[in-house]
Structures are given as structure tokens and as C-alpha cells.
Amino acid sequence: MATLKPGSSGPDVTALQQKLKELGFDPNGVDGNFGPGTENAVRAFQSSKGLEADGKAGPNTLAALQLGGSAPSDAGAGTATGTAPAAVGSVSANSEKRLDKVHPKLAQAVTAVINSLAAAGLKVEVTQGLRTFAEQDALFAQGRTKPGKKVTRAKGGQSKHNYGLAVDLCPFIGTEPQWKDEKGFDRIGAAAKKQGLKWGGDWPTFPDRPHVELAGPSVDECLALFNAGGLAKVWAKIP
């Protein structure tokens, strides 16, 4: 389920409103339209769960409501060392902002990955999501015409990131990414594949262990579709 917010409408909003009503948070009607009453009910629910009260039903809030993602876990989890308890819904605000910009199917699968790993004691964050062509070109220049280590072989338009079909994930301890946690990346790859995602760690040449992506059109096909009709044209081809 994609992020639901003011202006959204349809059966997903109806399901959200019904769930809120069942839990005692009155959305001022169950009509399938995300209006002020639904926004206020979402804020009230978020506050009751200690979530960011932004009035939008993103992956973290949907997980807490047990809608469109993995059900919240009661198991202890959290940091990569397994010493902190997992909150209800384990997608951080930063990760949620990045997931809001990628394909809804990818956001849902990644939310399930993050929540399942949190329940097993591994904290994971989304470190990269949608990239513009210009941002991709700047990344490609790193280690070539700009200082730094080479991190990609893809120029602008040559990465699934450019079409909202890929994200990068990393194990975290507290607020610190653990880029050398090889076992952590193995667990991310295994969890991603269980959700039907492709893992960059399986690539035989230039493996990209943080990278997970949706199955679908090739990068060349994505570029042709994008040139013909923008991101909407690309996303329409996702099965």
C-alpha cells in the first residue's frame, strides 16, 4: 500500500478509515476520501504510538495499523547489536521520506524487509532512493573526474535508482551506518529476495551489496519509457 495523505482517495483510504474507526480514532466518515477528518485521526493515532505525527499514513504508520505491510512484531530488536527494543513499525522517518518517492510496490516490499530484520535484531535504514539523472552523473564522476572511490558504473539514466525502482539499504547501530557489516548485508540480501526483490550483492561483476530493486523493465527500457512519458510511463510497466 502506498503512502496515503490528504488528497488521496480510493479503496486503500477506505480501509485506512475503517481501521482508524475500529481503533477509536474517528476519521469523520468512511468515504474513501482522505480529508481533514482522516488527517486528524491519523495524527491522533500516530501520537498514541509515539510515531511522527505528520498526518500521513506512510510505511511506518501503515505497519502500526497492520495495513499494507508486515505486522508489528512484539519481539525484541532494534540496533545491529540487538540491544534495543523495536518500536511498533521499524521504518525511521528518514527512511520513510525516501520510500515516499519510490514505486509503491518497492516501498511496501522494503518496509517488510526492514520490519522483518528489526524483529530479528538488525536495524536497517534506507540510505538512497530516487536519484535524478544529475545526481547519478555526479555519483558517476566520483573516482573519475572528482575525488573519492568509484561507487557506480552507471551514468544518469543508467540506474534503476533514476526511476524510483531501487533503494540502497544499510545496517545501522544507533545513527551510524555499518558499511563493513558483511553479515548484515547478507541478511539484507536474503530478506529482500524473500520479498521478490533483486539484490545487487548477487551481481557477478561490480557487486553492489546495499542495492535492492524491483524486477521489471531493463534500464534501457526504462530510459525509453521515461523519454516517452516520464516516470508515470515507467511505473505503469511494473507488474
Domain architecture of the chain: domains with CATH: 1-57 (1.10.101.10), 75-235 (3.30.1380.10)
Distance between CA 208 and CA 96 in Å, rounded?
22
**Furthest C-alpha separation in the chain:** 58
| Terminal-to-terminal C-alpha distance of the chain | 15
Q: Where are the beta strands (DSSP E) in 72-196?
A: 123-128, 166-173, 176-177
Q: Check residue 122 and give its pLDDT.
A: 93
Q: Check residue 78 and give its pLDDT.
A: 36
- Give yes or no for a contact between 99 and 122, defined as CB atoms under 8 angstroms apart: no
Indicate the length of the chain as a whole number: 239
Q: Check residue 212 and give its pLDDT.
A: 98
Q: Check residue 91 and give its pLDDT.
A: 87
Joined together, the cell numbers standing for residue 184 give: 548484515
Q: Check residue 82 and give its pLDDT.
A: 38
- Give yes or no for a contact between 122 and 77, defined as CB atoms under 8 angstroms apart: yes
Q: Is 173 helix (H, G, I), strand (E, B) or coil?
A: strand
What are 112-139's pLDDT values in tens digits? 999 999 989 999 999 999 999 999 999 9
Q: Check residue 141 and give its pLDDT.
A: 93
Q: Check residue 61 and give its pLDDT.
A: 87
Segments of the chain with pLDDT less than 70: 68-89
Distance between CA 23 and CA 30 in Å, rounded?
14
Q: Check residue 89 and give its pLDDT.
A: 58
Contact partners, residue 51, CB within 8 Å, separation at least 6: 60, 61, 64, 89
Question: Could you tell me which of 123, 78, 127, 70 has the C-alpha nearest to residue 98?
Answer: 127
Q: For residue 148, which amino acid is it?
A: G
> Could you tell me the pTM of the whole model?
0.65
Joined together, the cell numbers standing for residue 193 give: 529476495
What are 78-88's pLDDT values in tens digits? 334 333 344 34
Angle (nearest 5°) at CA 61 between 35 and 176: 135
Q: Check residue 184 and give its pLDDT.
A: 96
